A and B are shown apart, each in its own frame.
Chain A
Amino acid sequence: MKSHFTRRDFLKLAADALLGLAGVLGLGGLVRYFSFQPVSGRQTEFDLGDVSGYPEGSRTLRPEIPAVVYNRAGEISAYSLTCTHLGCTVELDGDDFACPCHGSRFNPEGRVLAGPAQEPLRRLRVEILEDNTVRVHTDGA
């Protein structure tokens, strides 16, 4: 028996293939269109004023970061107050921190006292600038 694949069948196939190609082109464009990341305005550096504002033994809450800043024996350290479970801001509870959302508890150094959080509160990098300004970085380690 002869092949039934006529010229018309070929053209039909070609038309379908072209329409498919147009569809793929359009779909590719669509994927790229949605791949655009709007610029995040989140600040990653916070200048917290002069170092003298953090006397020895002090504990300062900075809700705008949010973070807690300690001065322990002259060394300034900072911990993020963002719960490592699902991102709520933990609240001061005595010397510890408690998460209002799901009840995780952390000690002053951020160690987990009670779940559901698994990871300790993130320690933030602190930098003392030339002019004695305390700068806290929320990105990186």
Chain B
Amino acid sequence: MQRRLATIGLILLFFLGIRFASVTAEASPALQGVATATLESARPTQPPTVYPPSQADNGAQVYWGMCMDCHGDRGQGLIEAWRETFPPDYQNCWQSGCHGDDYPENSFLILGSGAPALAGAGKLTRFSNAFELNTFIQENMPLFPPGSLSSKDAWSLTAFILRMNDREPDGLTLDSTNSAAIPIHKDVTLPASGVPGALALVGVLILVALVYPVVANRKPPASDKRPARPDFVGHLHPPTIPALQSRFRYTLGAGGLAVFFSLVLLITGLLEMYFYIPTPEQAAVSVGTITTLVPFGSLVRNLHFWSAQFLVVTMTVHMLRVVITGAYARPRRLNYLIGLGLLVLILLLDFTGYVLRWDEGIRWALVVGANLLKTIPVIGEGIYQFAVGGSEPGLATLTRFYTWHVFGLALGAAILVVWHAFRIRRDGGIAVPPPEQRKGQGRITRLDLLRREVLAMVVAGILLLLFAAIVPAPIDQPISESGALSGDSRAPWFFLWVQQLLKLGEPFLWGVLTPVLVVLVLGLLPYLLPNAKREELGCWFPKGNRAAQVITAIMILAILVLTLIGAVSR
């Protein structure tokens, strides 16, 4: 037994040794540049290695190796007091050429005012945030030769410079996605993670889901006179509806869930608007601020993101249910078209919302999406200018997309949702056979209906919160003026199928006409193809509209396959 323990101990020690060795090794490549200048013992010694090293700890090592000679051990810059610590021969080398006598082959000149100070008040004022600082370091440092730092070393140095300025955000690893939100000259406090809060909310909601059905199931005692007039929520529902209309197996609850996700989108979107700044310079930064610095900001943003994704899925499922059960037949043809219009609006909302990130991740989606408009014959150029607000994407584009997203499209969608819901009641509720031909004659009360809706919302809410707490919404570095930096050129997932179609050739044919044709075919189903008979309604796969079912299934299947291909291919 003891021997086994000893073996395990030895193995552990061995691995620990490897970890330590690798940490020291990590810092060493940076040290090769120092050799000549740091012989004097009066100079600062290498900072101690810390385990596990934070980003700034790594930065301290790199700094000591590559930057300290010119920028000073405390970031004071190449001032006289610092040069006096150099060996006598080197004290004035900054005027002639440093790192050797054979200028320019193995040495370099310090330009103009010498190496600037990096720490203290009034320093580094040209950079407003850590992202800009890092970009400068990456592109211009070390002076000899510029741009030779690895991206990891550059980020470590950025973190270390923040530390020298007492502005290190504790517990944050700087990278291209969050650093734009980290100012250089202001203290930032990172908020506590929103995950525990979200999980607490999930816990409470689960309890509600457990308790609520028991309570709401209450049948009023005969003596208990219910108020004759329902309250507001109750008023949105008829007093009773046929049980057939609320079977989950039939409706899948998709329409109701879509309303729920829309409400979540409305609320979280409103919250985001308080911090989002729709300018090309500030958009990605402010999204980073919401994600990194605002308490519960990442939760709000993730909720917005995930309900948007779920909404697309739910609406598609809803549309499929309506087609495959033949529910769109007269008198519901108009409402079917309204729903189809809503689906298109939501896709446009998703796309405009996606673009609002204004980071490297959306660069090509925006360019491609806008250029697709140009390919439309005759009116294309006009539509392009209307959407983009100029001859190329810029501030006007962002302002227009923002306005469309938070107002134009949102208002349109809101009106259609209300109209859609109104038409459901006006058309006699969800499609079922006429009363005399129904199999089940039971009816449920509005209380029962409400109970089911609340349950569905609670379950969907739990799922949504879990997703939002665990899977973060994407954000990339701000769009770079100097050219594309990010390798990801994929469309948002709901347009991956269009991206795949575009690979087939002629952009107008595949990128504009085909998607429009899909919507057109869906819209014409009730008008051109045979409809389901009234007595067939209320169940899946009625014989009456087989042709429509097949056509829709083929289209959706093709879209699914294309989406999958797009998802796996690069």
Contact = CB atoms under 8 A, between A and B. Distances in A.
Interface in A25-51: 25-26, 29-30, 32-36, 38-41, 45, 47
Given A22-B208, A45-B121, A11 B214 contact: yes
A15 B197 contact: no
Contacts, number: 62
A19 B191 CA distance: 26
B200 interface: yes
A14 B211 contact: yes
**Majority secondary structure, A binding face:** helix
Interface string A1-34: 0000000100110110011011001100110111
A36 B274 CA distance: 11
Contact of A21 (B128, B188, B204, B294): B204
Given A11-B215, A45-B122, A25 B295 contact: no
Given A15-B215, A38-B289, A39-B183, A25 B294 contact: no
A45 to B, nearest CB: 5
B208 A18 contact: yes
A138 to B, nearest CB: 13
B247 interface: no
Interface in B274-317: 274-275, 289, 293-297, 299-300
Nearest to A32: B295
A1 B384 CA distance: 78
Contact of A41 (B128, B194, B214): B128
A36 B197 contact: no
A35 B297 CA distance: 11
Contacts of A41: 128
A77 B108 CA distance: 44
Contacts of B274: 34
A32 B194 CA distance: 11
Given A25-B201, A32-B296, A41-B128, A47 B215 contact: no
Contacts of B191: 32, 36
A8 B214 contact: yes
Nearest to B198: A29
Given A35-B295, A36-B293, A36-B295, A22 B204 contact: yes
Contacts of A45: 121-122
Contacts of B208: 15, 18-19, 22
A36 B297 contact: yes
Given A14-B211, A18-B211, A36-B295, A25 B275 contact: no
A22 B218 contact: no
B200 A25 contact: yes
Contacts of B218: 8, 12
Contacts of A25: 197, 200-201, 204
Interface string B104-116: 0000000000000
Given A25-B200, A34-B274, A47 B296 contact: no
B152 interface: no
A39 B183 CA distance: 8
Interface residues of B, number: 31
Contacts of B275: 36, 38
A26 B300 CA distance: 11
A107 B286 CA distance: 44
Contacts of B296: 29, 32-33
B211 A11 contact: yes
Contacts of B294: 33, 36
Which among A11, A33, A38 has the greatest number of chain B C-beta atoms within 10 A? A33
B201 A26 contact: yes
Contacts of A11: 211, 214-215
B271 A18 contact: no
Interface in B186-217: 186, 188, 191, 194, 197, 200-201, 204-205, 207-208, 211-212, 214-215
Given A33-B295, A41-B128, A22 B212 contact: no
B197 A33 contact: no
Nearest to B186: A39
Nearest to B197: A29
A47 B204 CA distance: 56
Nearest to A13: B215
Contacts of B295: 29, 32-33, 35-36
Contacts of A38: 275, 289
Contacts of A18: 204, 207-208, 211
Nearest to B286: A38
B186 A33 contact: no
A36 B271 CA distance: 12
Nearest to A36: B294
Nearest to A12: B215
Interface in B113-168: 121-122, 128
Contacts of B205: 22
Nearest to B121: A45
A27 to B, nearest CB: 12
A25 B121 CA distance: 40
Nearest to B194: A29
Interface string A116-141: 00000000000000000001000000
A123 B201 CA distance: 52
24 contacts: A8-B214, A8-B215, A11-B214, A15-B215, A18-B208, A21-B204, A22-B205, A22-B208, A25-B200, A25-B201, A29-B197, A29-B299, A32-B191, A32-B296, A33-B296, A33-B300, A36-B191, A36-B294, A36-B297, A38-B289, A39-B186, A45-B121, A47-B122, A135-B122
Given A15-B208, A135-B122, 11 more contacts: A11-B214, A14-B211, A18-B204, A29-B194, A29-B295, A29-B299, A32-B191, A33-B297, A36-B297, A38-B289, A39-B188
Kindly list the 4 A-B residue pairs having the minimum CB-CB distance in the complex, ordered from nearest.
A32-B295, A36-B294, A15-B211, A12-B215
Interface of B: 121-122, 128, 183, 186, 188, 191, 194, 197, 200-201, 204-205, 207-208, 211-212, 214-215, 218, 271, 274-275, 289, 293-297, 299-300
